[in-house]
Amino acid sequence: MRSRSEKEKMLAGESYSFRDPELVAEREKAKELLRLLNAAEEVAERQAILRKLLGGMGEASFVESPFHCTYGKNTHVGDHSYLNFSCIVLDNNEVRIGSRVMIGPAVQIYTAAHPLQVASRNRGQEVAKPVTIGDDVWIGGGAVLLPGVTVGRSAVVGAGAVVTRSVPASTVVAGNPARVIREIEH
């Protein structure tokens, strides 16, 4: 029986080594595409680079520069979505952004986390859990989404919120840690 690669472990949410040569090479490839993306001035050129970088880029979606991510290929953006300036996506596992999503400036989406044990961290071990953002979500500037969270359809995440657990659909969350502060009526 073949042992699983570090990449397979990473995408399965298991402990893996971020020092693995295959993963290092993939991160370097993403860095080069990000350098080109963040230097590009023309919309058509930027969109072409995003289609190479990301795992999926929906129709009429746009990502402002600067933009930073770890791998790119693990990030999927739906149709008519917008990521404002200075967003960071640590996409060591899948990040699924729905359609008609508005993401404010300096939002950070993390899938990667390090173990609490010093010895494991020093060996380069980490774990990555997927992040999912439903359709019609608005994430305010400076918000942080932690590994494994889901933001439900039509939810609003307040500016500066730290989302440590999943957000129910059609609610507004704010604070650190983010808490539901009201429901949205439709």
The answer to whether 115 and 15 have CB atoms below 8 angstroms apart is yes
CATH of the domain at 94: 2.160.10.10
Q: Is residue 56 part of a domain?
A: yes
pLDDT for position 79: 98
Which domain, by its residues, includes 68?
Answer: 6-183
pLDDT for position 133: 99
Domain count, the chain: 1
Q: Is residue 140 part of a domain?
A: yes
Q: Is residue 18 part of a domain?
A: yes
Q: Is residue 87 part of a domain?
A: yes
Count of residues for the chain? 186
Residue 71 has pLDDT above 90, yes or no: yes
So which residues are the catalytic ones? 114
Residue 1 has pLDDT above 80, yes or no: no
Q: What distance in Å separates the CA atoms of residue 100 and residue 40, rounded to the nearest whole number? A: 24
Give me the residue label for tokens 């305010």: 140
Mean pLDDT of the chain: 97
